[in-house]
Structure 1
Amino acid sequence: MLEFSNQYNATIDDKGRVVLPSAYKRELGESFNWTMIVELDPYEMCLNLYPSSSWDKRMEFIKSRLNPNDPRQSRLLDKFYQNFVKIAVAENGRINIPNAFFQKKSIIKDVVFTGQGDRIRLWDVGEFQKAMIPDDEFKGLFEEFLGGN
């Protein structure tokens, strides 16, 4: 089971490429198929990167919840399918994400990778700093949602 964690800074090169942190490459393991899915996060100013195995689970969940024959749900599915792309991962971990995805999430040059369980999130460093909660708020939310455990 994949468990991405921690945060790592990186820089997008002039060709729009960025290298996955080595800790994430290790977590992906030997059986990794060198393909990831990049999704525009529906709520945050970041991109979500999923290994195929994690993405397959997400797709199963979405397909189980939505009816493509219902007009509103069909439009939601149309938009959802426009908001992700499959990309190749080079052997050195370099990825090339479409520029349109970077633009939609205001990702310019300096980025932060953050692990969140079975997915990796990619933020512009400025957006990341705005979105992160302070330690005292983290403590309160942890107690509220997890009972202090």
Structure 2
Amino acid sequence: MFNISLDAKGRLAIPTRVREVLEGFGSTGLVVTVDTQDRCLMLYPVSEWSVIETKVQALPSFDARVRVIKRMLLGYATDCEPDGSGRILLGAALREYAGLSRECVLMGQGNKLELWDKARWDGELDRYLQQPMSLDDLPEELKSLSL
């Protein structure tokens, strides 16, 4: 997890360690889109996004819920290539959706990153910690993990 700052122009400096990991995916470019469950942004390496995009486009559009997901994920998807200083420019619509202010939190999530407004993330974290999960509450897939 990285505490990072968004500048007045909407630019975000991607930490060096993150850029190095992105290079392992074959490119430092990112596709940024909205999270349809939480008010944060998801940042995908380009190669990972192409897999997600293909799967989303293949979903049937007859279901209204699927159409909403498609509109959100694909409609907000924006290619972002870091500049010479390792910064990406986040468009106003993306910043507004996630409620981003100057202070942000960037965290790895396996094949993607999440970007949160720091105050919003702190609130979510407090909520998670106040409502600890028991083993009975966990999905079956998680019960078999040994951490």
TM norm structure 2:
0.80
- What are the Cα deviations for residues 92-119 of structure 1, in whole angstroms up to 9, with x where unaligned? 3200000221112111110000100010
CA contact (8 A) 2:41 2:115 kept: yes
Change (3 A) 1:79 1:119: closer
Instruction: Give the superposition deviation at 1:26.
Output: 1.1
Moved more, 83-92 or 106-115: 83-92
- Shift in Å, 1:45: 1.4
Deviation (angstroms), 1:80: 3.6
Query: Is residue 2:144 matched to residue 1:147?
Result: yes
Give the percent of matched residue pairs that are identical in Structure 1 and Structure 2: 21
- 2:10 aligns with 16
Q: Secondary structure at 2:9's aligned position in 1? A: coil
Structure 2 partner of 1:128? 121
Once residues 106 and 73 of structure 1 are traced to their aligned partners in structure 2, the CA distance between those partners, rounded to angstroms, is: 24
SS at match of 1:134: helix
1:4 matched to which residue of 2? none
Deviations 1:17-74 (A, max 9, x none): 110111111111266434211111101111000111110111122133x124x37378
Q: Does 1:105 align with 2:102?
A: no
TM-score (norm 1): 0.79
Residue identity opposite 1:146 in structure 2: K
* Structure 2 letter corresponding to 1:134: L
The structure in which a higher percent of residues are strand is 1
- What's 2:21 paired with? 27
Contact 1:142/1:148 (CA < 8 Å) preserved in 2?
no
CA distance in 1, matches of 2:102, 2:109: 22
Partner of 1:72: 64
RMSD over equivalenced CA pairs, Å = 2.7
Q: Which amino acid aligns with 1:46?
A: C
Matched, 1:84 2:77: yes
2-structure distance, mates of 1:56, 1:131: 29
Once the two structures are TM-superposed, the CA of residue 83 in structure 1 deviates from its matched residue by 2.1
Distance 1:54 1:135, change over 3 A: farther
